[in-house]
Amino acid sequence: MNLQERVSLKKADREDLYCIEPPFPRTNFLIETSNACNHKCIFCAHQKMRRKVGKISPELVFNLLKQAYDLGTREVGFYSTGEPFLAPELPEYIKKAKEIGYEYVYLTTNGALATPERIRGVIDAGLDSIKFSINAPERKMYEFIHGKDDFDTVVEHLRYLNYYREQSNKKFKIFVTGILTRYTEDMKDDYFIVFKGLADEIVFKNVYNQGGYMPEVETLLKCKSDNETYRRCNLPFDAISVTYEGYLSVENADYENMLTVADLNKVTLKDAWYGEKMKKIRQAFIDDDLTGLICDGCVHHKVNYSAEPVTPEHSSFTHDYFSREPVKERIAKEKLVYVPMAVDIVHPGHINIIKAASELGRVMVGLFSDEAISSYKKPPLMNYEARKIVIENIKGVDEVVVQNTRDYEPNLRKYRPDYMVHGTDWRIGPLSDVRAKAIGIMAEWGGKIVEPEYTQGVSSSELKQKMSQQ
């Protein structure tokens, strides 16, 4: 079974599972080694988490590994709400699982802490697969999504992982996954270019209100192509999720312990799995009546709902949780501003446009290709690569992408900017028809076109003409 098939099973219709006492899971066993994380992904509830940060005890890990194995479980993953490489005992856990007899041991990491030393540690311990969660295929968008400027570091670590597999001749799998948001859903093709040869499989998942903790995903981050209204969940019937405190939870992303049903420091894994609280939750899923459970928001894509913890003494949840909106705050600070430019010769007019754009948000310059410029005026003096180097080094520019046509539509639809900035000079002349079309396209998603007054007295064409007369 490949990774895509594994991912799809989690919400596939599996009638054989849906009963009060399903078979003990053979594959889906996740242990939260720690709930600490070094990133703040924009769609992740970790940025709102009030739960105390800690890590699981090795003794409990070893005990649970043995219990689950004796009950028939043969696969285990060491990750959940946090970053697994923050737990120094990680290689020890992997080694113990393999010694007990687990057939498949895996983990998911953001990759920033997957240094060569740590990679060798987990691979030599017997890891069967490692998945890098990379939620944008280029540096600036990655920083916006992950909350950290670690893209180059992660790619470097991914390259080393491939190198070590080749050198060690070990047979583990390497995966890359991307959680797609409305900001990145049109960047899927870029993954296959950037990570070519670095992953055995690249798998995408649309962002969703994982665990019910992030209702704001529905209005602020959901992919425009995502029309799902009901999300089937098989976790209550086919997954063992253990928090670092030692609680059995229904959900592997239970940031505030809203869905914990038993304390495994006090009861056996078998008794917890077949306990009354777990049975009650399974019945709620069978009846599709999740009222009062945080799952309601996730399964039914709700924006407004209330929830109570299944076991109140385990939870840090408070009723103002859903009113906290760090996503909205981050997006407000990171509005995408698209600035189309030819820029053969940089002059004050260009600087003025970029300065005005930078006051609105993150500036992406759509730099016309040589062919795009030649389609409506004389070819540029400098080629695209030379012009790109110049623009990338201008203060206020965050990113440069190629614009391959005179028409702005392809890039506007691909990047869906909040603003597009262009001088008033395009209101008449060869780009007036392009302007009219761009206004209509931007309006489709509420985007705005901002037109700073054209800087008089400077023009690339005039400068070229003067140069030719010298």
* 384 and 239 part of one domain: no
Among 272, 297, 326, where does a domain finish? 326
Q: Are residues 305 and 339 in the same domain?
A: no
Are 284 and 384 found together in one domain?
A: no
Is 19 strand, coil or helix?
A: coil
Query: Within this chain, do residues 317 and 461 fall inside the same structural domain, yes or no?
Result: no
Q: Which tokens belong to 65?
A: 């590994």
3-state secondary structure of 202: strand
Which of 276, 291, 326 is a domain's end point? 326
What is the 3-class SS of the chain, one letter each residue? CCHHHHHHHCCCCCHHHCCCCCCCCCCCEEECCECCCCCCCCCCHHHHCCCCCCECCHHHHHHHHHHHHHCCCCEEECCCCCCHHHCCCHHHHHHHHHHHCCCEEEEEECCCCCCHHHHHHHHHCCCCEEEEECCCCCHHHHHHHHCCCCHHHHHHHHHHHHHHHHHHCCCCEEEEEEEECCCCHHHHHHHHHHCCCCCCEEEEEECCCHHHCCCHHHHHCCCCCCCCCCCCCCHHHHCEEECCCCEEECCCCCCCCCCEEEECCCCCHHHHHCCHHHHHHHHHHHHCCCCECCHHHHHCCCCCCCECCCCHHHCCCCCCHHHCCHHHHHHHHCCEEEEEECCCCCCHHHHHHHHHHHCCCEEEEEEECHHHHHCCCCCCCCCHHHHHHHHHCCCCCCEEEEECCCCCHHHHHHHCCCEEECCHHHHCCCCHHHHHHHHHHHHCCCCEEECCCCCCCCCHHHHHHHHHHC
Distance CA 33, CA 61 (A): 8
Same domain, 230 and 373: no
Q: Are residues 346 and 295 in the same domain?
A: no
The enclosing domain of 177 has a CATH number of 3.20.20.70
Count CB-CB contacts under 10 A for residue 319: 9
Task: With beta carbons less than 8 A apart as the criterion, state whether 355 and 331 touch.
Answer: no
Q: What is the pLDDT of residue 348?
A: 85
Instruction: Select from 197, 160, 152 the least CA-distant residue to 176.
Output: 197
Pairing of strands 201-206, 173-180: parallel
Domain boundary among 260, 293, 326: 326
* pTM as predicted: 0.77
Residue 232: partners with Cβ closer than 8 Å, 6 or more residues away: 11, 12, 13, 299
CATH code, domain carrying 408: 3.40.50.620
Question: What's the structural domain count of the chain?
Answer: 2
According to DSSP, the residues that pair with 77 across neighbouring strands are 30, 106
Kindly state the tokens that stand for 11.
Answer: 């919400």
Q: Which of 399, 406, 423 is nearest to 337 (CA)?
A: 399
Q: Are 356 and 313 found together in one domain?
A: no
Please indicate, yes or no, whether residues 319 and 375 belong to a single structural domain of this protein: no
* 364 and 322 inside one domain: no
> Which secondary structure element, helix H or strand E, spans residue 174, and what is its range?
strand 173-180
Decide: 216 and 328 in contact? Cβ < 8 Å.
yes
Do residue 311 and residue 352 come from a single domain? no
pLDDT at 398: 86
Structure tokens at 216: 């704001």
C-alpha closest to that of 344 among 313, 302, 373, 306: 373
Residue type for position 152: D
Those residues with Cβ within 8 angstroms of residue 37's Cβ, 6 or more apart along the chain or in another chain: 44, 46, 81, 82, 83, 86, 110
CA-to-CA distance for 165 and 150, rounded, in angstroms? 23
Question: Encoding tokens for residue 470?
Answer: 């010298």
What single-letter amino acid sits at 266? K
Q: What residues does 203 pair with on adjacent strands?
A: 177
What pLDDT, on the 0 to 100 scale, is given for residue 464? 47
Q: What is the pLDDT of residue 377?
A: 80
For residues 211 and 169, membership in a common domain is answered with yes
Whether residues 320 and 360 fall in one domain: no
Domain interval for residue 431? 335-469
The ranges of the chain with pLDDT < 70 are 455-470
